[in-house]
Structure 1
Amino acid sequence: MGRAGRSSRVGALGVAGILAGTVLVGCGDGGSGDAAAGSSAKPGAGAREEGTRAVRSAYDRTAEEDTARVKLRVRTSAEGTSQTADGQGAIDLADGDSVMSLTVQGQRIEQRVVDQVLYQKLPEGRAPGGKPWIRIDLGEVAKQQGAGDGSMSDPAQSAAYAKAISDEDVTEKGTATVGGVRTIRYRVSLDVSELPNGDTLRQQVGPTLPMDVWLDDEGRMRRQQVEMTLKGTASPRQSSGTASSAPQQVTVRTVMEFTGFGTRVEADAPPAGQVTDMTGELLEQGERGQGRS
C-alpha cells in the first residue's frame, strides 16, 4: 500500500477506535490492573500543559509508524447483561485497512476492513444468504449516524479530536507496564460539544467522553481505553412513562493495545461471490430505532 500523509494516518488511527467501539458486537474490559496508582496531589499548571501536549501529539507519533499489531477487548453491557469480544490482528495506520481475528461468545470471526468496508466471516451456519462473508459499508453507516460522508477516515475529525483537549481535561495517573514497555497513563475528559458533529454525538453519549491513554517514552500510544454510555430508545411496550419504561442504555468500553510497529499488513476483500451485503438491513434497523418514541 502507498503511504499517505501524516494527517491521513491520524485519521486512520481514529478509525481503529471507532470500529472497536461501534461496529463490534461486544466490548472491552478495563484491562488496567497493572497501572500504578497516581499521586493524590493535584499537578501544577506546567505538568498539566505537558500532559496535554503529550496526549495531543500521541496520534501523530503513533501513526508515523505506518502499521502496527493491535489487540483489543470490547465489552458491551445493557440491562444487567454483558458480552465481550476479544480480537487481535494488524492495522495499516495510513488508510485504516486491517485484518483481525475475533472471539465473541466462544465463536471465532474473521474480520477485514478494506477501503472503509467491513467484512466478517461468521461461524458456519450463521451467515445469511448461504455465503460465508457479510459486508457493511462503514461510510454509509457513518452518514446515517450524522457523521458525514467518509468522516470515519476524515483527518479533520481526528485533528479536531485532539484539539478538543484542554489543560483542564488531562490528568496524569501514574505509570504502568504495557506489553513489557514502560508507559505513562493519562486520564482525559473530552468535551463532546467541541468535536465534529458534537450536537449529534452529545445526544448519544452525553456532554463528556472519558478516555485513558498510555504513552511510551517516545510519545506513542500503547494502550487506549474509551468508555461510552449510549442513550437508547424506548421500545413500543415502554410507553407508560414510569421509571421502568426508561429507554435502555448501553455501555461500551473499548481497550486497544498497539505493539509490533512496522508489521506487514495484507487486507484484501473476499471474492464477491462469497459475500452478502448487509449494509441496507443495518441502515433500516437504525432508521427504525431512530423512529421510536
Structure 2
Amino acid sequence: MGRAGNGTRVCALGVAGVLAGTVLVGCGDGGDSGDDAQGSSAKTSAGAQEQGTRAVRSAYDRTAEEDTAKVRLKVRTSAQGTSQTANGQGAVDLDDGDSVMTLTMQGQQIEQRVVDRILYQKMPKGQAPGGKPWIKIDLGKVAAQQGSGDQSMSDPAQSAAYAKAITDKDVTEKGTDTIDGVKTTHYRVLVDVAELPNGDTLRRQVGPTLPMDVWLDDEGRMRRQQIDMTVKSPAATQRSSTDASSAPEKVTVRTVMDFTDFGTEVEADAPPAGQVTDMTGKALEQGKRQS
C-alpha cells in the first residue's frame, strides 16, 4: 500500500476508536467552531464555572440516553508541513458503540462498521490485504493490550467517569454558538490525561492535559466535540535514538465530531466471514512497537 493509503488507514482507525468509545473520547479542532458558529464573550465567574462543570459532567449521560445519533466528523492529520484530511458521516449506537460510516480521504472511500467491538473496514480496491475486500480488527483486544480494558470501548458510563473527574477549574464557558441551526453553549475543558485509558502512555506522548471543546444544546446533549492532540511519532522516535541529529516528528491530529438526528436507526451488521481478513494480530504488533 502506498503512502496515501497508509494515511487513510491511520485516520480511519482513529475514527473507529472514537466511535467505539461512544462519543466520549475524541480528538478535535480547538480552533474552529464551524462556519456557522458565532461565539460570545467568555464567562469566568465561580458560579458559571460550577454550572459549566455540572453541565459537562451530565452531558455524556444525557447524550447516551438518546440511544443513537447521526455523526459527521472531520479528522486532519498534519506532520512535516503537510496534512491529510478525512471526512466521515454515518450513525452510531450510543449505548453499545456499534456504528456505520463512510470515510473519504484524498478521493478514496472506506466503508466502515463497528459491530460488537469489532472494527470492519472495506478498503479501496487493491489496497486490502489477503485478496478479500474487508479487514477486521478486534478493538477489545487492542484496548486490553493498551491497558484501557474492554469496558471503555462500549460502556457510556465508563467513559462518563472521565468527565466526572473534571473539577471546576477545568471547565470554562466560552459563549454560545449555533451549530446546524441549534443554539448551543460552548465549554472549554482540560482533560486530565491520567484519567483516560492507557493514561501513562498518553501522558508521555501528549503531556498531562488535553484541551477538549464541547457544545451542548438546551437539553444538555452533546452537539459537537473536538480536541487538538499533538503526539510524537513512534517511528521518528526510533530513528532519533540511532541518529542524534534527527528530531522526533510531531504529528498533530484535529478532529471535529458533530451529532444530529438523535434516535436515528443504526443497522450495523458484520460482513460475511469469507470476505474478511483478520488484521488484529498486526494491530497488536504495531501497538507493542509504539508502547
Q: Under TM normalisation by the shorter chain, which class is it? A: 0.7 to 0.9
In structure 1, runs of 5+ residues without a counterpart are 1-10
Report the counterpart of residue 180 of structure 1 in structure 2.
181
Instruction: Give the whole-Å Cα distance in 2 for the aligned partners of 1:279 and 1:148.
Output: 16
Report the counterpart of residue 81 of structure 2 in structure 1.
80
- Within a 5 Å distance, the mapping from 1:36-185 to structure 2 comes to 36-39=38-41, 43-155=44-156, 157-185=158-186
Tell me by how many angstroms 1:197 deviates: 4.3
Instruction: Give the whole-Å Cα distance in 2 for the aligned partners of 1:150 and 1:213.
Output: 23
Instruction: Give the whole-Å Cα distance in 2 for the aligned partners of 1:206 and 1:154.
Output: 26
Superposed CA offset, 1:165-200 (max 9, x none): 111111111111111111111111112224454323
Q: Does 1:15 find its partner at 2:25?
A: no
In structure 2, runs of 5+ residues without a counterpart are 1-17
**Aligned CA distance change for structure 1 residues 160 and 101 (closer, same or farther; 3 Å):** same
> Which amino acid counterpart does residue 254 of structure 1 have in structure 2?
T
Tell me by how many angstroms 1:157 deviates: 3.3
Report the counterpart of residue 11 of structure 2 in structure 1.
none
Report the counterpart of residue 37 of structure 2 in structure 1.
35
Tell me by how many angstroms 1:77 deviates: 1.2
Q: Which runs of 4+ in 1 moved over 6 A?
A: none
Tell me by how many angstroms 1:28 deviates: 10
> Which amino acid counterpart does residue 34 of structure 2 have in structure 1?
S
Percent identity among equivalent residues?
71
Q: Is the Cα–Cα contact under 8 Å of residues 29 and 253 in structure 1 kept in the other structure? A: no
Q: Does 1:287 find its partner at 2:273?
A: no
TM-score by length of 1: 0.85
Aligned-residue CA RMSD in angstroms?
Answer: 2.4
Superposed CA offset, 1:25-67 (max 9, x none): xx99945343323325x52111111111111111111111111
User: Matched residue pairs, number?
Assistant: 272
Tell me by how many angstroms 1:15 deviates: 3.2
Instruction: Give the whole-Å Cα distance in 1 for the aligned partners of 2:189 and 2:48.
Output: 14
Instruction: Give the whole-Å Cα distance in 2 for the aligned partners of 1:253 and 1:121.
Output: 24
Q: Is the Cα–Cα contact under 8 Å of residues 28 and 73 in structure 1 kept in the other structure? A: no
Q: Aligned to 2:268, what secondary structure does the other structure show?
A: coil
Q: Is the Cα–Cα contact under 8 Å of residues 210 and 229 in structure 2 kept in the other structure? A: yes
Report the counterpart of residue 260 of structure 1 in structure 2.
261
TM-score by length of 2: 0.85
Tell me by how many angstroms 1:100 deviates: 0.6
Instruction: Give the whole-Å Cα distance in 1 for the aligned partners of 2:30 and 2:285.
Output: 27
Report the counterpart of residue 4 of structure 1 in structure 2.
none
Instruction: Give the whole-Å Cα distance in 2 for the aligned partners of 1:77 and 1:44.
Output: 36
Tell me by how many angstroms 1:228 deviates: 1.4
